Amino acid sequence: MHLDSWAKKAKDHGYRSRAVFKLEEILRKIKFDNTNGKVLDIGSSPGGWSQYIIRNYPKKEVYAIDVLDMESIEGVCFIKEDIHNIDEIETLYKNKGSFELVISDIAPNLTGISAVDIENVYELNMLTISIANRYLQKSYGCFIMKTFQNNMLKILRENMAIYFDMVQTYKPAASKKQSGEIYLYGVK
Ligand SMILES: C[S@@+](CC[C@H](N)C(=O)[O-])C[C@H]1O[C@@H](n2cnc3c(N)ncnc32)[C@H](O)[C@@H]1O
């Protein structure tokens, strides 16, 4: 499908971002099902991924966090906060260890200075891996994280492999080929 068609499809379906179709592809791969469970959406604004989860998996309890505002979505508990402070958010902290799925589309503001951007992405991704490990259930859980194709990708993947039995790198069809973004997902 042409890239603009993804944006049109998102609009036609009432989604806030075309990123929902990247998530959709990966959820199919991990065979995510609509049983009761908790989902944590990290870097959630404007809310496409949260919308997608609550609409297609209505039995899930969705929690979303972003440093920016997010227009409310019925059934989604949104917290406006920096993820560096996640352990200080009581609503989330009391659910630590009980999530079934953690999804992260988080991206730092780019400076245009390659070395700085790579370092910032790496730092946020490492923090996100640590959050996923601590907030997911001990016995079972899935994690999906956006990152970028650079020299730190291998290290990120190795770090995920410490906590997840199965780790995959995936470039969704809905992701712009020239963007360099890529997704890692893991299942334990
Ligand atoms: C690409 S957008 C997410 C799009 C979303 N998945 C959707 O479908 O609508 C990335 C988000 O990460 C957020 N973000 C970046 N750094 C953050 C941080 N330290 N804490 C919380 N959110 C952060 C940004 O504010 C931005 O809204």
- Domain that residue 124 falls in: 21-44+54-187
Strand partners, 184: 145, 169
Residue 81 lies in a domain: yes
Distance 108 CA to ligand 1 centre (A): 8
- Candidates 182, 24, 38; CA nearest to 102 is 38
Nearest CA to ligand 1 atom 8: 48
Residue 120 lies in a domain: yes
Residue 10 lies in a domain: no
Q: What is the pLDDT of residue 178?
A: 86
- Candidates 41, 15, 21, 20; CA nearest to 142 is 41
Residue 1 lies in a domain: no
pLDDT in tens, 144-172: 999 999 999 999 999 999 999 999 999 99
CB 92 within 8 A of CB 78: no
Number of neighbouring beta carbons within 10 Å of residue 89: 15
Burial class (CB in 10 A: 0-12, 13-18, 19+), 90: exposed
Residue 8 lies in a domain: no
Residue 71 lies in a domain: yes
Ligand 1, pocket residues at CB < 6 Å: 16-17, 19-20, 43-49, 65-68, 82-84, 105-108
Task: Supply the CATH number for residue 99's domain.
Answer: 3.40.50.150
Look at the alpha carbons of 187, 86, 130, 145 in this order and tell me if their dihedral is positive or negative.
positive
Distance 106 CA to ligand 1 centre (A): 4
Residue 3 lies in a domain: no
Atom of ligand 1 nearest to the CA of 84: 19
Q: What is the pLDDT of residue 13?
A: 95
Residue 16 lies in a domain: no
| Residue in 21, 92, 105 to alter for ligand 1 test, most ligand atoms within 8 A of Cβ | 105
pLDDT in tens, 16-34: 999 999 999 999 999 999 9
How large is the average pLDDT for residues 173-185? 92
How many domains in the chain?
1
Hey, which residues are catalytic here?
146
Inform me whether the pLDDT recorded for 44 exceeds 60: yes
Query: What is the overall mean pLDDT for the chain?
Result: 95
pLDDT in tens, 80-109: 999 999 999 999 999 999 999 999 999 999
- Candidates 43, 68, 51; CA nearest to 15 is 51
Strand, coil or helix: what is 101?
Answer: strand
160-to-23, 44, 96, 107, 152 alpha-carbon distances in Å: 19, 21, 18, 18, 13
Q: What is the pLDDT of residue 1?
A: 61
Q: What is the pLDDT of residue 2?
A: 60
